[in-house]
Each structure stands twice: as structure tokens, then as C-alpha cells.
Chains A and B, each alone.
Chain A
């Protein structure tokens, strides 16, 4: 079993719609969680951290469920510019970051 698993997609989303996807992790001792965004042929960039209480940043909402060992990302009112691959990242320990394979989102006009 992979340490961090994601649905690869693609999720084809009409502009203005809502899309949500999850990421599961295997190590229950994982300390912190993040969503990174990676555009085609570009480097990953931090989108948002994920806190136990859930957190929101504009149209993006992230949630953590420690009991079931998954995190989620929801994008509301999708924009064409949201088209990207979203990487789930888990901080295992001592600054060791484990990346998922990514979920591709394609927003269509």
C-alpha cells in the first residue's frame, strides 16, 4: 500500500461548478498535511496547509480526518485557472514530506 494515495482523475469540471477529492495516508503518526498545486511542466507550489479543524482560503476548503486518515480539498466556483494537478503532501516526521501522485483537475468553459 502506498503511503499517500490519490485518485489520479482527471476530474473534468464545468466552470463555476464545485469539485472535491480526497487523499488517504497510511501512517497514523503523520504530523501535518498540505495541498500543493502543480501546473503542467512547472514546479509544485504550496496551495494551503490542512488543519484538524478544517480551513478555508477563498474558494478552497481543506479538511483533515485523522480517524479515517484522509484529507480532502474542495474547490468552489471553479475557474479555468484552477486547472492543474493537486498534490497531497504528508509530513511524516523530521521534515520528511511524502507526496501523492496527484489529482488532475480540468476546468472546462
Chain B
């Protein structure tokens, strides 16, 4: 079974430029997450999708970050304009859900991440 795919693996940009990250979750996984992990910290949830709907985007800096999952499969996270403090690894994860809604196993499957450096 193919895992969570992310691209690009690495990106270096200057502040005020824009960047986009792509994620393709495990086939059949309805829930998709974008996390930001700054060096030395745990992953911080940016946005959670259930199919193509947003479940939680309370910690997404909406003035500069946007994300979409138009067809309920792959997803794109965009940052525009980037700031120095956006330097981090952006992790995409997916999980399965039951028809009742709540995640049963609690296992999140992560991609390898996209490492962003903002200069």
C-alpha cells in the first residue's frame, strides 16, 4: 500500500515569496491533516479536512496560509507571502474514519514532510 506522498521535499525561498506544498493521502483515507513542525517542537495542527470539508482550521494563519482539498483526495497548502518564522517542516497526515465520524484507531500516517527554509 502506498503511503502519504508529499512534494516538494525541500524548498528554499526568500521572505515575501510564495510557496505551495502538495499532499496525496493514503487511498481511501477520508481525513487529511496539515501540521507545521518547527525545529525542537511537536507538530502543530494547521488544518484538518474530512473529505473535502474543513473540520478545523482554527490555528491556520489565514492572512497568509490557505489550503484546499477540492475533490476530497489530494490537498495543497499555500503560503503567501512567506515570513522568516514560517521556516519549518510541513507534514501531511491522513487517517481513516468510521461512518460514525470519530477516528477509531488513532493512527495518523505521515508523509516525509516538506522542509521549508525562508531566507
Contacts and interface: CB of A to CB of B under 8 A. Distances in A.
Top 8 nearest A-B pairs by Cβ distance?
A: A99-B42, A43-B110, A95-B103, A101-B42, A99-B43, A46-B107, A32-B106, A100-B42
A43 B103 contact: no
B24 to A, nearest CB: 15
B61 interface: no
Nearest to B33: A97
B55 A43 contact: no
Main secondary structure of the interface of A (DSSP, over half): strand
A49 B110 contact: no
Contacts of B103: 91, 95
Interface in A11-69: 31-32, 34, 36, 42-46, 49
Interface string B90-119: 010001010001110111101111000000
A34 B48 CA distance: 19
Interface of B: 31, 33, 35, 40-45, 48, 50, 55-56, 91, 95, 97, 101-103, 105-108, 110-113
A54 to B, nearest CB: 17
- Interface size on A, as a range, is 20 to 34
A42 B102 CA distance: 27
B106 A91 contact: yes
Contact of A101 (B41, B91, B95, B105): B41
Given A34-B106, A43-B112, A46-B107, A87 B55 contact: no
Nearest to A50: B106
Nearest to A100: B42
Contacts of A100: 42
A95 B97 contact: yes
